[in-house]
Amino acid sequence: MIIGIDHVQLAMPEGEEAAAQQFYEGILGLRRVPKPPELQGRGGCWFEAGDVSIHLGVEDGFRPARKAHPALVVDSLTEMIERLQAGGLPVRTDVVLAGYERIHTEDPFGNRIELMQRVVR
């Protein structure tokens, strides 16, 4: 029986850890955490906030994930939209899902990221 998700892994190009940190930590507000020593030589970086863990790994021949994506729940979608727009990042609305307001953006590498806020009515 599955009881949870430990992390989500996304790909990134080699040598772009600073851009990843600027987006995932600076814009989204996740905290960069050290990778285990045995994995540090592979490049990439890891981020966390509460129970959410996103790992970015270097992939040869990198191609961004345009359809597959993590969906992150936020406490203020309005604030997140302001942060994305201030950073010059795209904000795309999508169809309404019951119980959520949501948007899509992209990380600096073109990976799709969904941001959702629960709506209580």
* Mean pLDDT value of segment 7-21: 97
> Per-residue pLDDT for 120 more than 90?
no
- pLDDT digits 0-9 by tens, 20-43: 999 999 999 999 999 999 998 999
Query: In this prediction, what percent of the chain has a pLDDT beyond 70?
Result: 99
User: pTM value?
Assistant: 0.93
Q: Which of 27, 102, 22, 35 shows the shortest CA–CA distance to 70? A: 102
**Type of residue numbered 102:** R
Q: Which CATH class is domain 8-118?
A: alpha beta
* Mean pLDDT value of segment 47-56: 96
Query: In this prediction, what percent of the chain has a pLDDT beyond 90?
Result: 88
Q: Give CA–CA dist 61/12, Å, rounded.
A: 10
